[in-house]
Structure 1
Amino acid sequence: AAELMFEKYKVPALFLAKNAVLTSFASGRATSLVVDSGGGSTVVSAVHDGYVLQKSVATSPIGGEFLTDCMMKSLESKGVVIRPRYSFKKKEVSPGDYKVVDLDFPNTTDSYRLYHMRAIASDIKETVCRVPDTPFDEVAYANVPTTSYELPDGQTIEVGAARFKIPDILFNPFLSQTIPGIDGFGDSTSIRGLPRMVLESVNRCDVDIRKELLSSILLSGGSSSILQLKDRLEKEVLEGVPPKCPGKGFGKWKFNREAIQCLDWREHPCIPWVVPANVVLQSRV
């Protein structure tokens, strides 16, 4: 990578940094616990004085793309057909009345079709999903009110319990095994939910900095923008913290209003605990 930048693009200087460090600096902090939930995975890292503590890094293969696949398989199991945008066109048969006409592209590969189907499923996930206040339960959410979503071909679908079940996989990964067509994780013990990853990461660090890390939890990545994820994470992490904070001389531990912050304030206009605009812009990240 360095050779490419210097030899081809002729850059005068190059600086490489880890995502967690940049996330921490973007919020104006040198020490923080970064929860990065992106498309392909979720990573929890402790940053202390501008350096990532490697022993604290906790990873999970659960990310936004996996949640999108879960949403797509869940809809397919209910008989919903997601038609890629390129496979049809709408023809107006009368004013305000449109007919869907199929288009034939024989040379289109399966991977290209799947890519477009995932794009639609991802939009459904981002539009209707929200993290439940409590761990998802099939019986409790069986009669939850549905939310309507109009597919590109004009078909309107109703999304019920799945809009709570899918995002809760971030907290309970084995919930994905109940979705038809999704491969399970077997007996692997390395797959943990977000709260457990946060607590494990903190416990791997020295006791002297644990309180500071728990007071500076930063959320980043696209999957962290799911509604109510911040509130649910704060609740479960607080429940998992022992009555006495493990640091020396620390009294009873409790979260303050800035315990968990969302890095991108533009995606969370309704949450008051966000990083100010000038901090994000000054960081140039």
Structure 2
Amino acid sequence: MSEAPWNTRAKREKLTELMFEHYNIPAFFLCKTAVLTAFANGHSTGLILASGAAHTTAVPVHDGYVLQQGIVKSPLAGDCITMQCRELSQEMNVELIAPYMIASEETVCEGSPANWKREKWPQVTRSWHSYMYNCVIQDFQGSVLQVSDSTYDEQVAAQMPTVHYEFPDDYNCDFGAERLKVPEGLFDSSNVKGLSGNTMLGVSHVVTTSVGMCDIDIRPGLYGSVIVAGGNTLIQSFTDRLNRELSQKTPPSMRLKLIANNTTVEQRFSSWIGGSILASLGTFQQMLISKQEYEEGGKQCVERKCP
């Protein structure tokens, strides 16, 4: 199983106890997501930048071990972008409709109100509706949003090409400067509406802060393997902007190398892929906590076998 790099000892021991006592499994292993992401990219040392729904995190990994003192987290992540997209739709008077609610729709001219009929479904759960609603926003993010090449400038953004997008209810329009302004919050918190103050770390600052908290001798290895993962890193031009900002912040004596997977699936589910690689190794059987080891050493053995 994978776990967050900052998972506490008490929770790790509780999970181990649950798996052996409740589910009666024959063997168990626990590994941190950052380590698995490094393995998925063929590295045992590197700085893992993961930007998911709740957090954007930088986790230093050295020889397959997470350096706890260097973990840095920022709330500027996917949920923040989703909130910005919702506010944008409200400002533009665009009603976001989950696809399952639509029985039929008629083609309308650009910018004209949607004309659709509601599907007569039995009442669905709130969680299902929320999931389908977020799918609409995620599709919009992947199709429309783009990270600016440099710090957001409204005049420069206004000259960028527009992107045409059609919503599930057939409402369609062009998006211009706003498609660059929404993801700017990942790099600069002052562009995020509703935040009190702008002291939250942007993506590039998360990376440099994390590296700066590690021993000076291993910093070249971290800067030389900055591995990006998570759904937000798939936003158009994200890695280009990150690479540009880190190049300006990296000491001249160190070589910067940004590593991003070639496919969407690999970048989004890198920890799962790393887990499959680890489990396929011939030495993996010796790494496992066996039922016998658990019975002899108790739940505390997870700290020794799964650092």
- 1:201 equivalent among 210, 213, 217: 210
- 2:29 equivalent among 3, 8, 15: 15
The TM-score with structure 1 as length reference comes to 0.79
- Residues 115-154 of structure 1: CA deviation (Å, up to 9, x unaligned): 4332211110011222111111122212433211111111
| Counterpart position of 1:174 | 190
Which amino acid counterpart does residue 2 of structure 1 have in structure 2? T
1:217-256 equivalences under 5 Å are: 217-243=226-252, 245=253, 253-255=254-256
| Counterpart position of 2:166 | 150
8 A Cα contact 2:58 2:71, kept in partner: yes
| Counterpart position of 2:17 | 3
C-alpha distance 165-6 of structure 1, shift in aligned 2 (>3 A):
same
Which amino acid counterpart does residue 220 of structure 2 have in structure 1? K
- 1:210 maps to 2:219: yes
C-alpha distance 231-85 of structure 1, shift in aligned 2 (>3 A):
same
8 A Cα contact 2:147 2:238, kept in partner: yes
Per-residue deviation at 1:28?
Answer: 2.4
Identity %: 32
Query: Equivalents in 2 of 1:187, 1:148: separation in Å?
Result: 34
C-alpha distance 10-280 of structure 1, shift in aligned 2 (>3 A):
closer
| Counterpart position of 2:181 | 165
Q: Unpaired runs of 5+ in structure 1?
A: 178-182, 246-252
Per-residue deviation at 1:201?
Answer: 0.7
C-alpha distance 45-85 of structure 1, shift in aligned 2 (>3 A):
same
- Residues 53-83 of structure 1: CA deviation (Å, up to 9, x unaligned): 1111110112222212211211211111212
1:12-91 equivalences under 5 Å are: 12-90=26-104
Name whichever structure is richer in helix by fraction.
2
Number of residues paired by the alignment?
Answer: 256
The TM-score with structure 2 as length reference comes to 0.74
C-alpha distance 31-72 of structure 1, shift in aligned 2 (>3 A):
same
- 1:187 equivalent among 172, 191, 197: 197
Q: Unpaired runs of 5+ in structure 2?
A: 1-14, 108-113, 281-307
Q: Secondary structure at the match of 1:29?
A: coil
Query: Equivalents in 2 of 1:10, 1:220: separation in Å?
Result: 33
Which amino acid counterpart does residue 52 of structure 1 have in structure 2? V
Per-residue deviation at 1:107?
Answer: 5.5
Which amino acid counterpart does residue 139 of structure 2 have in structure 1? D
Q: Secondary structure at the match of 1:236?
A: helix
Query: Equivalents in 2 of 1:78, 1:192: separation in Å?
Result: 29
Q: Secondary structure at the match of 1:139?
A: helix
Q: Secondary structure at the match of 2:155?
A: coil
- Residues 129-184 of structure 1: CA deviation (Å, up to 9, x unaligned): 2211111112221243321111111111222112212222111122112xxxxx21
- Residues 24-70 of structure 1: CA deviation (Å, up to 9, x unaligned): 12222221100011121111011112211111111011222221221
Q: Secondary structure at the match of 1:116?
A: helix
Greater relative CO, 1 or 2 (CA 8 Å, sep 6+): 2
Per-residue deviation at 1:283?
Answer: 4.1
